[in-house]
Structure 1
């Protein structure tokens, strides 16, 4: 990762923070993009870090401005890691019709907006990379997971279609498909679960950074399960 320029969306969340810290430790230059205004304590800082808070990635112009700012700051862009997204458990009957639209915006629209903005910059990189975050649960939706699974399935299709679109440019596009990520929110929601079987954010970060590396040039269009022992 030394000197590679990486834009991370959803960078202030649990997974985004883990990826940012791991990438910084490996010498990457980072643009940390999030809808939240303020970065959490422990966020990487310094001359090799650009922090962009308050960015609404569901708006194409905002996404483009953030990605362009990253490329302007560091003289280019090598990697886009799309971590921004959202989750909601809700059955269709009795549920809010807007949940489907909201999750589409949070999971699919944010990724498509940032990908579109990043493509011109990534084409100029020697090893351009896009890594999206899908969901293992989108391969077969369970009770109450319809809207979430549908939106993440959209991320899977975006990944596959874009990988074909960018093959000739040497830009790879892949997605990781985690099961349950070990976060404070998930522990609170499922207090009786065996947390040791879940996916640690640092372990998911390691897979994402491999896909973002120069060594992963032969991998594109892949949907890679990262499921721990769930």
Structure 2
């Protein structure tokens, strides 16, 4: 099996690279800063999902190096926090370009190879923000809602090609991006506790837990699963617990 992971240089993407490789896949790591490795089963390739030519070149390089492509994981993305009036048109265009059109670019580049695979699979990284109304996340939520819709539409379009398309919807994940947000808070410890407490499990989701869900959806055990959004959010989406006390 050969996989491409966009945004594979850090955070959830890096966890997906590690999990897929541990499961036996050769993995192309596409990122602005993909890092270095001497592992022959890993191929870091600089790529910008906001640049169509960059994505096409990077995907082709991975497919040429490893003799094809079976799995595409779209993990590249940017965050956006703040009220609606805090984001101008340029910021809306930037976030949607990376988080939504970036997935379309990667899928376009990968489809010729995925159609030749007997196990073609696309897994997109969405978010709890696509399902739940979170404060000060209007732009980010809109982008992840679009990822949901794109996932389901692609699943319908590609089912006849035997290419499965699904998405994973994490809650708040303990990643470098979240760490940077916490560092900017007036009280980082209190803000971390607040983020953990809004998930019924009482803790942040780990990147490895998200990667495990991605690996399941990408692999043969999910051979009859397509057009599905899998929540990995500590119960945030589905549970309605009584208040404590």
Q: Tell me the TM-score normalized by structure 2.
A: 0.85
Q: Which residue number in structure 2 is paired with residue 148 of structure 1? A: 140
| Alignment pair present for 1:224 and 2:224 | no
Per-residue deviation, residues 52-85 of structure 1 (Å, max 9, x unmatched): 02x1111222111111111111111000000000
How far apart, in 2, do the equivalents of 1:218 and 1:162 lie?
16
| Alignment pair present for 1:87 and 2:84 | no
How far apart, in 2, do the equivalents of 1:165 and 1:204 lie?
26
Shift of 1:217: 1.1
Bigger Rg, which one:
2
Structure 2 counterpart of 1:179, from 171, 178, 189? 171
C-alpha change, 1:24 and 1:96, in structure 2 (3 Å) is same
SS at match of 1:93: helix
SS at match of 1:58: coil
Structure 2 counterpart of 1:215, from 221, 235, 238? 221
Structure 1 counterpart of 2:9, from 3, 12, 15? 12
Measured on the aligned residues, the alpha-carbon RMSD in Å equals: 1.6
Structure 1: 4+ residue segments shifted above 3 A: none
Q: Which residue number in structure 2 is paired with residue 67 of structure 1? A: 59
- Gaps spanning 5+ residues in structure 1: where? none
Between the two proteins, the alignment pairs up a number of residues equal to 222
How far apart, in 1, do the equivalents of 2:86 and 2:11 lie?
31
Structure 1 counterpart of 2:160, from 159, 168, 173? 168
Shift of 1:44: 5.3
SS at match of 2:174: coil
CA contact (8 A) 1:7 1:81 kept: yes
SS at match of 2:168: strand
Structure 2 counterpart of 1:50, from 34, 43, 53? 43
How far apart, in 1, do the equivalents of 2:60 and 2:86 lie?
42
Name the stretch that deviates more: 187-196 or 16-25.
187-196
Per-residue deviation, residues 18-55 of structure 1 (Å, max 9, x unmatched): 1111222222101000022x51xxx65422111102x1
Q: How does 1:102-181 map to 2 (within 5 A)?
A: 102-181=94-173
Shift of 1:115: 0.5
How far apart, in 2, do the equivalents of 1:202 and 1:214 lie?
19
Shift of 1:169: 1.0
Q: How does 1:12-31 map to 2 (within 5 A)?
A: 12-31=9-28
Q: Tell me the TM-score normalized by structure 1.
A: 0.91
SS at match of 1:107: helix
C-alpha change, 1:47 and 1:126, in structure 2 (3 Å) is same
Per-residue deviation, residues 143-192 of structure 1 (Å, max 9, x unmatched): 22111111111111110110001101111000001110012442453432
